[in-house]
Every structure is written in C-alpha cells, then in structure tokens.
Amino acid sequence: MPSDRKYPAVGGGLSSFGGVDLASIASECGTPAYVYDLDGMTRTARELRAAFDGVPHVIAYAVKANAAGGVVRALAKEGCGADVVSEAELLVATGCGIEPASIVFSGVAKQDGEIDRAIALGIRAIQMESVEEITRVEARARAAGRKARVSFRVNPSVDLAGVTHANIATGHDAAKFGIRREDLPQAVRLAEASRHLELVGMATHVGSQFTSVDPYLDGAMVLCDAVRGLRDEGGLASLAFLDTGGGFGVDYTRAARSPAASEPPPSPADFVRAVRAEMRARRLDDLVHVIEPGRSLVAPHGALLARVVQPKVTAAARWLMIDAGMNDLMRPALYQAHHAIVPVGGHASRESWVPWRVVGPVCESSDDFGEHLLPSEPAAIVAILDAGAYGYTMANRYNGRQLPPEVFLSGGRVVARTARTAMDRWVEERVAAG
Ligand code: LLP
C-alpha cells in the first residue's frame, strides 16, 4: 500500500508548468500525458556542475531515469555524459550527441553484443560488476583486436536497512551489484596482467533516493580508502577517474512541506562537495571525478497529467478514479512511493479540500496513488508531481493500455511532443501472436 504521508500544500491548484498552461496541454495532447520542463533540467545540471568548482569531472546522467531524446539532448548540451545499462541506452546517449568518451556502461549481466558495441565505440569505461566479467570483457577485446577501457564497480558493503527502499539499495552485502572489496586485489591483478584491458576507473553506487549525504559518503569513503590502499601498494597505474555513483534523493514531500517546516534535504551539490572533501583528504584529487545522477536531474521537472474519470464515494472511502495507472507510473505500486497530486487550474484554497484516495484504472489493488487532499468537487485534471524520473522509462502496456505521450517544454512553450501509442496496433499484435 502507498505510504500514508500527509497532504500536499499546493493551495489553489497548479495552473502552469515550465511557463505553459497545463489545462491546454491536457486538451491538446489528451491524458494521461507526461510533461517535462527542459529548462528546469538544464538549470539543475548547471547548478550541479558549479559544485565541482572547476575540478575535472563528468556528470554521467543515468539514462535509465528518463531516456527521452529531448531530455538527453538538453543534458548533453549542458556537458553531461551518460551512465547506461544497455546497448539501447548507449545508442540513445550517442544518438543524442553524448561523446563516447563521457559514457560509462554499468550492469551485472551485459551480453557479448553489448560489450562488443561498447568496445567498438570506445566509451570511457565498461564497468566491471564481477571478477568473472573481467575475463569475459578481456576475451571480447582480444577477439576484436582492441584494448577495452574498464572500471571496477566496488560493492562498498554499506548497510542500507531503513535508509532507502530495499528495491533500490544496491551497495550492501546481499546485493548482486559490484565487486566485493576483498576480491579487489585479485580483480586488479587480472586486469593489469591483460594486454587487452586498461583499468581506468574505480566506481561505486550505493543506492538511490538518499535524502541525507551520509550513506552516499559512506560508500564514497570505502571507495576512496580502497583506491588509496591499492595505489600505496603500487597498483592502479593507469587509473584516470573515480566514480562515486548516483543516488541523490529528491524531495517527494516538497509539496506537503509548510514554508516553516524543517530543512529541505541536501541538494545534489551538497553530495558532491562532501565527497570532494574526502577525495582531497586521501590525495585523490588528481583523478577525474565522475558521478552518475539520474533522478535528481529530472524528477522534479516532470509531471504526469491525468483526467479525473469519476468519483466513487462509499461508507468505506472516497475514491477518485483517474485515467493514469500503475502502468504509466509504477513507483507507488513498486516502492510505495508517494507523489504529490494537485488539481490543475485555479481552485478554492485547500482549507475546503477533503481527502481522496486516488486510484487508477488497472485491475490491481496496488494501482493506488495514495491519499491526497483535493477539492471536494473534483477538478477535471490533476497533475502527479515529481514524475520526470523513472516514470515513462518504467511504463508498460499492462491491461492493454497505451503508453502516454511526452510533452517537452522550453522557453515557456511546447517545443516537441510524442504520440500516444496506438491501441489498435496492440490489439492486432496480440490477436496475431501465436
Ligand atoms: N548508477 C547506477 C549504477 C545505478 O544503478 C543507478 C540507479 C544510478 C546510477 C542512478 O541513480 P539515481 O541518481 O537516479 O538515484 N526505479 C527506481 C530507481 C532505480 C535506480 C536504479 N539504479 C525508482 O523509481 O525509485
């Protein structure tokens, strides 16, 4: 069940997003529809870059958060590189103008074809997630007569119980990700003995949606200590970068926060500054600093517009049925995430609003966006906020539903939009299957 976190404090509703009238987007593009404020994403990337204060770095945007061309191109224009986890994401990144030299490729089960493509393109590094993978990549590089640049993703063994949702914690002992610290010396020996591998990076990624710097810093310190130790023993001669991963959290409770409420969570720049201090303390600042943020660059700058289909008021609950479902935005069903939902357009102040249980049309009880304070006379359109990350990329066609269009905003206008997938095509495909 979604969490019972309290109501958004957006008094009077939300009329515009990225300077564009939301009701007119809904009537032109239909609902559900994703809207993205590209200028907001650009601003956030710029702020993050400023935190490096001139230090050589790569902001390797985690394409899995939002792979739409408009988004990736906007971030590429800001100088971002990419963190990809499939050949398809790799091709989106290069297709949107990101230089291979700024791309890292993570993932625990890369296929041979994916490795071959990464080697052929000459990306910054293929991230090794196991000792076994080193042998596989070396064989592919030898077969291609090339030298593959690799980095090691170190599992920092950080206990994340209670820190973030178990499904998005990756840097703990029981996770499938990364090379264990005790296996590092063997892994380094293996890579450094090969004529076909060049060990250029050391990386970690602790998990996602951290709202405090501490767990991120814990992972970064394990990485820094490991690198310092290996260097002190004379290893890692070709090391060029340190990659401290993504995971900077966004404030999904932002809309529920009263102005007088406690401190907002740390900004992406705060995470970077904290890690830079640790790198300096261990004399590792000759290395390029790579980070892999996804969510923090795009989530707050996206919303999912939905139409209210009908209310259903019973003695048990006040349901508000909307036309967006868990197939469009999986986060509430998958992680019990609570995204603020606000009425679109002008409405009476929230003092007169009442709690509604907002649910979608999918035939699953988990198709539930949680309880939200909304006008007692329901608005025609609502906006589900902070949906710019892990929204469309995780959307699916369960129940024969169509994938929503994506609408791209910049300079106060719609600059591009995609089409909703066609229902007829799905019907044809399914009827023809088998
Ligand atoms: N680098 C690696 C190796 C990752 O596995 C991830 C996310 C990132 C970077 C980007 O993390 P971010 O900065 O976005 O937190 N679908 C989930 C999130 C899954 C994250 C998976 N890995 C959600 O909607 O919360």
Ligand 1 neighbourhood includes 295 CB (under 6 angstroms):
yes
pLDDT truncated to tens, each residue of the chain (434 aa)? 333 333 344 567 899 999 999 999 999 999 999 999 999 999 999 999 999 999 999 999 999 999 999 999 999 999 999 999 999 999 999 999 999 999 999 999 999 999 999 999 999 999 999 999 999 999 999 999 999 999 999 999 888 777 777 777 777 888 899 999 999 999 999 999 999 999 999 999 999 999 999 999 999 999 999 999 999 999 999 999 999 999 999 999 877 665 556 677 899 999 999 999 999 999 999 999 999 999 999 999 999 999 999 999 999 899 999 999 999 999 999 999 999 999 999 887 788 899 999 999 999 999 999 999 999 999 999 999 999 999 999 999 999 999 999 999 999 999 999 999 999 999 999 999 99
Q: What is the pLDDT of residue 7?
A: 39
Distance between Cα 324 and ligand 1 center (Å): 23
Between helix 131-144 and helix 112-121 the angle, nearest 10°, is 60
Measuring from atom 16 of ligand 1, which residue has the nearest CA? 390
Which atom of ligand 1 approaches the CA of 170 most closely?
A: 5
| CA nearest to 146, candidates 154, 134, 136, 138 | 138
Ligand 1 neighbourhood includes 253 CB (under 6 angstroms):
no
Ligand 1 neighbourhood includes 249 CB (under 6 angstroms):
no
Q: Residue 127 carries which side chain, given as an amino acid letter?
A: Q
Instruction: Read off the pLDDT of residues 130-144 as tens digits, 9 standing for 90 and up.
Output: 999 999 999 999 999
Distance between Cα 291 and ligand 1 center (Å): 12
How far is Cα 34 from Cα 31, in angstroms, rounded to an integer? 9
Q: What is the pLDDT of residue 113?
A: 98
Q: Which residues are catalytic?
A: 363
Distance between Cα 207 and ligand 1 center (Å): 7
Q: What is the pLDDT of residue 11?
A: 60
Which atom of ligand 1 approaches the CA of 106 most closely?
A: 3
Q: Which structure tokens are listed for 31?
A: 């609902």
Ligand 1 neighbourhood includes 83 CB (under 6 angstroms):
yes
Q: Residue 278 carries which side chain, given as an amino acid letter?
A: E
Distance between Cα 294 and ligand 1 center (Å): 6
Which stretches does DSSP call E strand in 246-367?
A: 288-291, 302-313, 318-322, 341-343, 354-359
Ligand 1 neighbourhood includes 207 CB (under 6 angstroms):
no
Q: Which helix (H) or strand (E) holds 105?
A: strand 103-105
Ligand 1 neighbourhood includes 209 CB (under 6 angstroms):
yes
Q: Which helix (H) or strand (E) holds 224?
A: helix 213-232
From residue 334, alpha-carbon distances to 267, 293, 382, 420 in Å are 25, 21, 21, 24
Instruction: Read off the pLDDT of residues 204-253 as tens digits, 9 standing for 90 and up.
Output: 999 999 999 999 999 999 999 999 999 999 999 999 999 999 999 999 98
Stated pTM of the model: 0.95
| CA nearest to 281, candidates 322, 221, 192 | 221
- Is residue 163 within 8 A of residue 215, CB to CB? The reply is yes
Which atom of ligand 1 approaches the CA of 292 most closely?
A: 9
Give 288-318 as a DSSP string: EEEE---HHHHGGGEEEEEEEEEEEE-SS-E
Burial state string for 69-84 with b = 16 or more CB within 10 A and e = fewer than 16? bbbbbbbbebebbbbb
